[in-house]
Structure 1
Amino acid sequence: MRDEKKARCTVCRAGMSTPGKRGRPALYCSRSCQARAYRRRKQPPVPAPERPAPTSDARSRRRRQIAEAVWRIAAERGLDAASMREIAAEAGVSLRMVQYHFGSKHQLLVTALHMLHRENERLARTRIHFDPANLRGVLSAMLDEFLPLDAQRAMALRVFSAYYARSLTDPAIAAVFLSDDHPLEELVAGFIATAQESGQTAPGLDAQREADLLVAAAVGLGGDVLHGRRTLDDVRGTLDYHLAKIFTSAEA
């Protein structure tokens, strides 16, 4: 016959040879172990240690990671393809993580748009150098930010185009994307007005109208470059042509 497997105390794990009562297997080797087991059952459970809250830097990096996923989807497939699940998959995180950081899809799309604006402004500041003696050069550099001169600017143009297309059918996005403020046009108008005061421009210009035309032309022509309808050289030549008309001084 095979040796029966020796029972062990459920508390101290010591081997037991004494059978349990009424034919049931024994659980404890002694009354002491039985009392210890009883005390354990009466004690409240020890709570599991809480995960440390993410630091602000870690939270910012995660939000940026998710926003960049929105940018890539918008640039490659349009915002209609940017479901929460698709964004999570593109970012390499769980859907719960996306919902934790942004709450709703609308909030995510709006935040991603604002983050892209801030990123473009940060990069533009590194590329544009203000020179009051050469305001035409400053404006030319500003208009370059609307042209797909590199991968980053091409991606940004595609993302903004996706948001514009979505704003035509989504009032909530339109309220954010098509705001009543025109900070860029105001900035360009301010540069033109400054040039007027120093006699660098043609007489009789309306600085605000000229700014509206310059910005609209740069945005539209940049889109033509993305579609392959125009070359970068052709577009920059058109913008330089209009800048030359603005910066024709009265003396010249």
Structure 2
Amino acid sequence: MREVAAEAGVSLRAVQYHFNSKHRLLVAALRLLNEDDDRHARARLSALSDPADPRTLLHAIMREFLPLDGRRRMALRVFAAYYARSLTDPALASVFLADSRPLELLVAGILREAQRTGAAAPGLDPDHEADLLVSGVSGLGMDVLHGRRTMAEVQRVVDYHLGRIFTV
């Protein structure tokens, strides 16, 4: 909390007044980061040339979780730090790893609609595909941060999986 106070240029007491525990400070920071990331992602998605095309939309959504620029690189690092801490902090885990999985539900919904219109292979399980896409892209993004993979390699993997899912 001292570091946060110093970085913000306020007294430690001010930070303690607003966040009476380290847990509340971490939760508030996580919520702010999520809101900020969501706002930037929505702006990028609204600029898509064809947002009605499910493949284009899913490709853009998956790119949001890759370290393509400084902002997303920092967000992925912060996500990794929160994840690591949530492994030993049950109170933080209850906030960080909420029961609902909105991204997976969004991706599965896009896949269901693509199947309905014939744009996606009919035999796929949208829920399983969504789980694999979201977790896979998250892991591939970490590999890019560590220098184990290049963005070009990751893009080929994402394109491969989307090509397997979409028939058009």
- Is the pair's TM-score, using the shorter chain for normalization, greater than 0.5? yes
- Larger radius of gyration between Structure 1 and Structure 2: 1
Corresponding position of 1:123: 40
Q: For 2:51 and 2:124, how far apart are their aligned partners in 1?
A: 19
Corresponding position of 2:60: 141
Corresponding position of 1:178: 97
Superposed CA deviations along residues 159-214 of structure 1, whole A, max 9, x for unmatched, are: 01000000111111111111111000000000000111100011211011000000
Query: Which structure 1 residue ranges, 5 or more long, are not aligned?
Result: 1-83
Corresponding position of 1:101: 18
Matched, 1:224 2:129: no
Q: How does 1:9-88 map to 2 (within 5 A)?
A: 84-88=1-5
Tell me the secondary structure at the aligned position of residue 205 of structure 1. Answer: coil
Query: Which structure 2 residue ranges, 5 or more long, are not aligned?
Result: none
Corresponding position of 1:112: 29
Letter aligned with residue 32 of structure 2:
M
Displacement after TM superposition at 1:223 (Å): 0.2
Displacement after TM superposition at 1:132 (Å): 5.6
Corresponding position of 2:73: 154
Contact 2:2 2:12 in 1 (8 A): yes
Corresponding position of 2:161: 242
Letter aligned with residue 230 of structure 1:
R
Superposed CA deviations along residues 115-160 of structure 1, whole A, max 9, x for unmatched, are: 1111111000100136464110100000011100000000000001
TM-score by length of 2: 0.95
Runs of 4+ in structure 1 displaced over 6 angstroms? none
Contact 2:118 2:167 in 1 (8 A): no
Corresponding position of 1:89: 6
Tell me the secondary structure at the aligned position of residue 107 of structure 2. Answer: helix
Matched, 1:212 2:131: yes
| Identity value in percent | 63
Letter aligned with residue 162 of structure 1:
A
Q: CA RMSD in A?
A: 1.2
Tell me the secondary structure at the aligned position of residue 128 of structure 1. Answer: helix
Q: For 2:6 and 2:79, how far apart are their aligned partners in 1?
A: 22
For CA contacts below 8 A with separation 6 or more, give which structure has more relative contact order: 2
Tell me the secondary structure at the aligned position of residue 93 of structure 1. Answer: coil
Displacement after TM superposition at 1:87 (Å): 1.3
Q: For 2:15 and 2:51, how far apart are their aligned partners in 1?
A: 45
Letter aligned with residue 128 of structure 2:
R
Equivalent pairs counted in the alignment come to 166
Matched, 1:189 2:121: no
Q: For 1:101 and 1:140, how far apart are their aligned partners in 2?
A: 40
Contact 2:45 2:51 in 1 (8 A): no
